[in-house]
Structure 1
Amino acid sequence: MSIGSTFRLFHAGWVLAREGAFSVLPAESLPPMMRFGISMARLVERRDVRKTGSIERLNAALHKLGPSYVKFGQTLATRPDIVGAQAAADLSGLQDRMPPFDPTLVPGILDLALGPKAAQLTEISEPVAAASIAQVHKAKLRAPGEVPKIVAVKVLRPGVAERFRADTDSLYAGARLAETFSPASRRLRPTEVVRTLDHSMRLELDLRLEAAAISEMAENIRNDEGFRIPDVHWDQVAQNVLTTTWMDGIPIRDHAAIDAAGIDRKALAAKLLQSFLRHAIRDGYFHADMHPGNLFADPRSGDVIAVDFGIMGRIGKFERRFLADILYGFITRNYRLVAQRHFDIGYVPASQSVDDFTLAIRSIGEPLHGRTAADISMAKVLGQLFTITDLFDMQTRPELVLLQKSMVLVEGVARNLDPNLDIWTVAEPVVGEWIRREEGPVGRIEDLVGHASRAAEALGRVPTLLAQAELTMAEHRAMMRRPPDRLMRGTLLAVLGAAFVLIVTLIVRVVLGG
């Protein structure tokens, strides 16, 4: 842990405290130790923040601190139900209205990144959107032999990689300090969480990977309705430049314009939530940065349009089943299923009681049923979750951090579109369909095919394993001055026999899904 990263961490804490960042947290719902920490931090809060409750200067402070802090502010901006309407409004400028870098630098960046093909991008506009990592320009693509197209050109901010590294060094320092001085925080595995976020942010700094992400998602959703994404122009893609089709749409936070276009906001909220769940549960691959600055409404079809695929989440079949079962358990009020899945995935240690945890889950789930989003205080729900995680010594699963963060974002946007959103009713068609498919003949056949494929792969390794065993025997004989006696020969045969039995056992377990 370097002195510099520790200093930056404390500097960030000071700036955030001064500008009122801790005032937006639902302190009354947090554990006593966290409430005490927030009250201490608020002692240095600026007088006008304390007096008015407005945190408009926090946007500029977060931007100066670095892109990781901006991401945190973007998440809070989608949750007026947690931080309050005024704070959410103050933070909304972080979503795509950050100060742009000097647009006169763009032609030089394009020339260096794209070479001669940069000349095909003409009529480049002033920045139309600027975020913490990059900014976007509208341009015209004039490829030889093709009709000119309107495109969006995304360009990384100069020096953003260095700022990001400084951010993550500070976050690692904070995680290690927490683990050192707060034993209770270790179950949350803060260093592993930071490492997961670090990895996703590093991917965001290579726009070629974002182009590949768009391509993969396009394949996944090619038969879906209600959710649209741009196409990639690969000839105009580089590590720091991404060119895609221009998507005309109404910003999803502009409710007045959406209403004026005759778009049903309730239907739009349902499409957004269902699309996200379909991507996460069905595909295991989802947009992990769905704040309002990245979402638009198509004025013609009423579909959701998504842009900015720099942060993507990927989860395996086991985690997808966990998510589906958790949602389905809440939808059907099967709290035993919800509790059991938390044990299965390792969130709750086996030493805890499934029955007691089921009771705790019921205490959260029952008050949510039959309520609309407007009737639910997410701050209180989060407070209950904090209490339960502490009571049952729940462990963090770092690979699910992006999914959980994304669900918070998507739910917040959907709630803003439709304050009367019934989350469980909207989620049921997607979750129920996937579970019924997985439990039905198609799902069983796919599982069997997967087991057979793994068995074939294991069988394919058998000759290599036998050849390695023979080589080991030959090397052993070469080291001996005389041929192996009967005892040695028996020992070697026993070893080979045990190896063969082990291989067969592994193959059988793979075939049976064990």
Structure 2
Amino acid sequence: MSSIASTFRLLHAGWVLAREGAFSVLPSQSLPPMMKAGIGLARLVERRSVRETGRIERLNTALHKLGPSYVKFGQTLATRPDIVGAEAAADLAGLQDRMPPFAPALVPTILRDALGPKAAQLHDITPPVAAASIAQVHKATLREPGDSPKVVAVKLLRPGVAERFNADTQSLYAGARLAETFARSSRRLKPTEIVRTLDHSMRLELDLRLEAAAISEMSENIKDDTGFTIPSVQWNHVAQNVLTTTWVDGIPIRDHAALDRAGIDRKALAAKLLQSFLRHAIRDGFFHADMHPGNLFADPRTGDVIAVDFGIMGRITKYERRFLADILYGFITRNYRLVAQRHFDIGYVPAAQSVDDFTLAIRSIGEPLHGRTAADISMAKVLGQLFTITELFQMQSRPELILLQKSMVLVEGVARNLDPDLDIWTVAEPVVGDWLRREEGPLGRIEDLSGHVARVTEALGRVPNLIAQAELTMAEHRAMMHRPRDGMLRFALLAVLAMAFVALGTATFAALQLL
């Protein structure tokens, strides 16, 4: 029954989205025929006001009523006026931090239940200064014994948001199952695994203690960086549904007029944003995965980027970081063979496909982008071309990279809004190139070697336990058989130990080869 209910909820969401014009903002002319036909059918039920004016003012309210997952979708579209159009992006911008707040009377109770007596240390709590789909933020003064008062931001989860999110997720799972059942071509995109990845990410967002830990980890990662700052956690006032951080004063990054009045160089700000994101993803493998304009500010004193709301974070391995760096560097240097080969290496493109043909397809995307500013590039056409290529080469989805891909779309959209003349490749090269040169240089080799040595040392540390376990097994076997058969067991033990030392020796030799 729950599966049927989830399916009906999904169908209802589709009806609401179609009625309020959600499909009118998609670049249907650039999409494959099947998707174009589906959008055409969905638009048959649009409100007359949407068809006549092209405005989607009611879509904000509709997305909020449907649930937090749909709001996230709208937030992403709001960052891409180059794809959905300037008016649609403006209509959707209210989803970023201007949602209706929950009842003010609930705030004291939430704080008291979560923090106990420490809730009384929060004074002068203001009405919400920002309200999003999952939480809202209040400004307050924190007075702890023996410490001077400080201005803080207090983030509170919306009551009942976990239940709403769970309903959203079940609907998305239902949609993924329907796609895999009735559209066999969608299976290569692994919709169920993608939903599972997003489900895990969103569940982490529902525990603000984990967000506090994410802020702490990123603070350590960027402590020596410039151009990007974040608030610090007030750990004594953190709970599952309450997060308290230092207050940061900044100009909303979407308020271009205010940025200009403050004398902030928007081109430099765009470069700092894009380079910081790439640095976090490629160097650290840990990045802010929800960088819509509602979560980004500019420091009026330094012109630096200030980021807030670390509920959704992305994490990628060293292998995936190298993949990202090589892909970007391949486009920067126009080495399309490298870009193509890396797609095969990581499993995006099946091995049965032609590397040469895929290189040609990548060149057809990359060449028109070089030497052109963001304002000259139609991302709608680029996305349409990407859809065609993924289908032509039977490209597989990598669910573990879905947050990275979504984040890159967000960041690139915000950066190009700040600087329409942005040259993405020129801005990205210092970060990507420096990291690759470092990885290929002596320092990178030494770090790789140290990792191998650490693994070898760990394995060697397990040898005494293996020997002890083997001797115990021998003793137990002797007692059970009541007759001496030590020769065979000793031979088996020696064989096991010999294999272990051969494996350790091989690992050590491989590590030394890196020098």
TM-score, scaled relative to structure 1: 0.96
**What does 1:3-22 correspond to in 2, within 5 Å?**
3-22=4-23
Change (3 A) 1:40 1:510: farther
Q: For 2:32 and 2:501, how far apart are their aligned partners in 1? A: 52
Pairing of 1:386-397 with structure 2 (within 5 A) = 386-397=387-398
Indicate the residue corresponding to 1:378 in structure 2: 379
1:153 is matched with which residue?
A: 154
Alignment of 1:16-415 (within 5 A): 16-415=17-416
- Matching residue of 2:499: 502
CA displacement at 1:477 relative to structure 2: 4.1
Whole-Å separation in 2 of the counterparts to 1:510 and 1:35: 53
Deviations 1:420-474 (A, max 9, x none): 1000000000111101111111101000000000111111222233333344444
Change (3 A) 1:142 1:33: same
CA distance in 2, matches of 1:125, 1:510: 60
Work out the CA distance in 1 between the residues paired with 2:213 and 2:67: 26
Q: State the Cα distance separating 1:29 from its structure 2 match.
A: 1.5
Counterpart residue identity of residue 417, structure 1: L
Aligned residues: 510
CA distance in 2, matches of 1:385, 1:142: 54
What are the Cα deviations for residues 177-212 of structure 1, in whole angstroms up to 9, with x where unaligned? 111111111111111111111111111011111111
Give the aligned residue type for 2:43: R
Q: Taking every aligned residue pair, what percent have the same amino acid on both sides?
A: 82
Shifted more, 166-175 versus 29-38: the winner is 29-38
Return the alpha-carbon distance in structure 2 between the equivalents of residues 354 and 467 of structure 1.
51
1:127 aligned counterpart, secondary structure: coil
Distance in 2 (alpha carbons) for counterparts of 1:494 and 1:62: 69
Shift, 1:496, TM fit: 3.6
Partner of 2:438 in structure 1? 437
Structure 1 distance, partners of 2:163, 2:99, is 18
Q: How far apart, CA to CA, are the structure 2 residues paired with 1:429 and 1:192?
A: 34
Tell me the distance in 2 between the aligned counterparts of 1:508 and 1:357.
40
2:226 counterpart SS class: coil
- Equivalent residue letter for 1:95: Q
CA distance in structure 2 between the partners assigned to 1:58 and 1:507 by the alignment = 61
Report how far residue 501 of structure 1 moved: 4.2
- Cα RMSD between the aligned structures? 1.5
Q: Which amino acid aligns with 2:147?
A: E
| 3-state secondary structure, aligned to 1:2 | helix
State the partner residue of 1:455: 456
Distance, in Å, in 2 between the alignment partners of 1:376 and 1:461 is 57
Query: Within 2, Cα distance between the matches of 1:463 and 1:301?
Result: 57
Q: Unaligned regions of 5+ residues in structure 2, if any?
A: none
Q: Could you say if the C-alpha distance between residues 181 and 466 of structure 1 is closer, same or farther in structure 2, counting changes exceeding 3 Å?
A: farther
Q: Distance in 1 between matches of 2:364 and 2:11?
A: 38
Q: Which runs of 5+ in 1 are unaligned?
A: none
The aligned amino acid for 2:496 is: A
TM-score under structure 2 length normalisation: 0.96
Change in CA separation of 1:455 and 1:110 when aligned onto 2, cut-off 3 Å: same
